[in-house]
Chain A
Amino acid sequence: MRDTFTRCLENYAREHKELVLITGDLGFGVLRQYIAEFPEQFINAGISEQAMMSMAAGMALEGKTVVVYSIGNFPTLRCLEQIRNCCAYHNVNVKIVCVGAGFVYGTLGMTHHATEDMSALRLLPGVKVYAPADAVETEAVMKVFLSEPGVAYLRIGRGGEPINHEEGTLADYATGKALEQFSGTDAFILTAGGILPDAIQASKILAQQGKSVGVASFPTIKPLDEAYLSKLCQQVPVLFTAEEHTIVGGFGGAVCEFVAGQKDNRARIVRIGLNDTYCATVGNQQYLKAQFGLDAEGIARRVMSVLDGNE
């Protein structure tokens, strides 16, 4: 995802001289090519996320499209009020990029676990939130992320994520569209971000146990694909949401908020994610996901438990 992001950014910067990339002193090795090719469209703001975010708003008020790059919680929670007041209220073209979704930086400890960012950003009026699952979704999302007006947030992994779509199949992706991988009759697992392949694998495990579980990816969590959800929540009895993120207020929260307002006979929602907790141990991404039941086996166990009527 990260390499796709930089490639798309470079292509866009070549065509759009108003684009400026600001980094909070991070991106060694990732941004090198961009910096070499576009020195006039690059600023390192140093380790100053608060001033960086306000500065980005000021530049955008002057007509720039400003991409703010950092990792983990630094471009989001660290400067959340600046995003609210300076960027969102002024409705400027500031595009915030976080590399390190969820447990990507698992060994670095809880300061580097981005597990509340989607909740925080989707709180803010007018801010779009994108959480692509792989390189193909990232490429699809980058077009709308950079070109549509206003503040947007993009949350991506580090790289090497499994590909879940054929190259080029999402070329005409529109903001707010869910991508159904395949259908099911017993339940659906809805995902945001890099957890998609775990959900696909979980569905295969469940199929072996006689359950038909569909899977859909939501590269955009705000705005949510309400048309798709309103149909789906009348079709199957249970919708599971899966995210490498807290279940409070994030993707699962967004689905709950929407479905709760739908007519009767709607699906039950079960949220799979971090259950309102921090992670005090370390490990690589796959290890930590398994610890919290966010790998394929964990997701399959949870779905089976619900479908069996145990919870």
Chain B
Amino acid sequence: MSFISSKELAYRIRCHALEMTNRGGTSHIGSIFSMADIVAVLYADVLNVDPANPRKPDRDRLVLSKGHAGAGIYAALAERGFFDPEQLKTHCQNGSILSGHVSHKGVPGVEASTGSLGQGMPMAMGMAMAAKLNGQKHHVHCIIGDGECDEGAVWETALIANQYKLDNFIVTIDFNKIQSLAPVEETIALEPMDDKWRSFGWHVIRVDGHDHDALHRAYDEACAALGGGKPVVVIADTIKGKGVSFMENDVLWHYRTARGEEYDAAWKELEAQKP
């Protein structure tokens, strides 16, 4: 167990992200909120990572392939002790190293820089491939978006990971059902999602991406399945903008920044959810 509960960490990620996007005038709050519980469960209870030794060789790796939600990772790492949460105030400010799309340069705990969709997942696969070749036992995690599944490289990766039986590789899909301009099913339909991944040879787990008990069980199952000859995908059903009622399930909050009354209202809602 971590020093704080996954629920507390998810709460802090959302609070930081609201503040960071407000201060920076940046977007993607909906995408950060949809994956906040996933990221919190991973960093609080699943990943073997050590803030005192961020590069220790046997650490689990996590690559955020949906790099636009990078504020969520920065917040999680800061709260997990990788760097001072005060540094989050520089997010997207002039001269800051904390870019809108997640960057690894100078940021302890970030494994790879992403932001162009469909690239973080195959990078993470390369880490899993290297671990296999090296005989290392750590796990490689990757979080991808649902809209990101429009990218051909996602499916190239799905094929290669199956071919090479990368059973040290866990991909979580933040399936929030809304992409940049419209709902996923109206853009490039992805359902039946489970069947797609199963037919690609992956061990498929579907879970409510906001239910922490269910997420813990899902990652218990995922970790137990590792070593079984298949890569694992956790398809997490989530709600875009989860945590602030007027942001939820609204495509507007892919790009909009909460300001003024909206910012105050969002804060009020988040504070009411403090565990």
Report A's interface with B, CB cutoff 8 A: 20, 40, 43, 45-46, 48, 50-64, 81-82, 85-86, 89-90
Residues A61 and B122 in contact in the complex (CB < 8 Å), given A43-B129, A50-B156 = no
When C-beta atoms are compared, the residue in chain B nearest to A48 turns out to be B156
Cβ contact within 8 Å between B122 and A62: no
Cβ contact within 8 Å between B157 and A64: no
Size band of the B side of the interface?
A: 20 to 34
When C-beta atoms are compared, the residue in chain B nearest to A47 turns out to be B156
Cβ contact within 8 Å between A90 and B131: no
Contact of B130 among A50, A54, A64, A81 (CB under 8 A): A64
Cβ contact within 8 Å between A55 and B133: no
Residues A59 and B127 in contact in the complex (CB < 8 Å), given A43-B164, A46-B159 = yes
Contacts of B153 in A (CB 8 A): 48, 50-51, 54, 82
Task: Name the residue in B115, B131, B134 with the highest tally of chain A Cβ atoms < 10 Å from its Cβ.
Answer: B134
Instruction: Give the docked Cα–Cα distance between A62 and B129 (Å).
Output: 9
Instruction: Give the docked Cα–Cα distance between A45 and B120 (Å).
Output: 17
Question: Does residue B190 face the partner (Cβ distance < 8 Å to A)?
Answer: no
Residues A54 and B159 in contact in the complex (CB < 8 Å), given A40-B133, A63-B130, A81-B116 = no
Could you write out 29 A-B pairs with CB less than 8 Å apart?
A20-B133, A40-B133, A45-B160, A46-B156, A46-B159, A48-B156, A50-B118, A51-B153, A51-B156, A51-B157, A54-B120, A54-B121, A54-B122, A54-B123, A54-B126, A55-B123, A55-B157, A58-B122, A58-B126, A59-B130, A59-B133, A61-B127, A61-B130, A62-B130, A63-B130, A63-B134, A85-B113, A86-B123, A90-B112
Question: Does residue B124 face the partner (Cβ distance < 8 Å to A)?
Answer: yes
Residues A55 and B119 in contact in the complex (CB < 8 Å), given A50-B153, A90-B112 = no
Contacts of A60 in B (CB 8 A): 126
Question: Does residue B79 face the partner (Cβ distance < 8 Å to A)?
Answer: no
Q: Mark B7-43, 1 if CB is under 8 A from A, else 0.
A: 0000000000000000000000000000000000000
Contact of A58 among B118, B125, B156, B159 (CB under 8 A): B125
Contacts of B159 in A (CB 8 A): 46, 48
Contact of B126 among A61, A81, A85 (CB under 8 A): A61
Task: Name the residue in A52, A59, A90 with the highest tally of chain B Cβ atoms < 10 Å from its Cβ.
Answer: A59
Instruction: Give the docked Cα–Cα distance between A281 and B121 (Å).
Output: 40
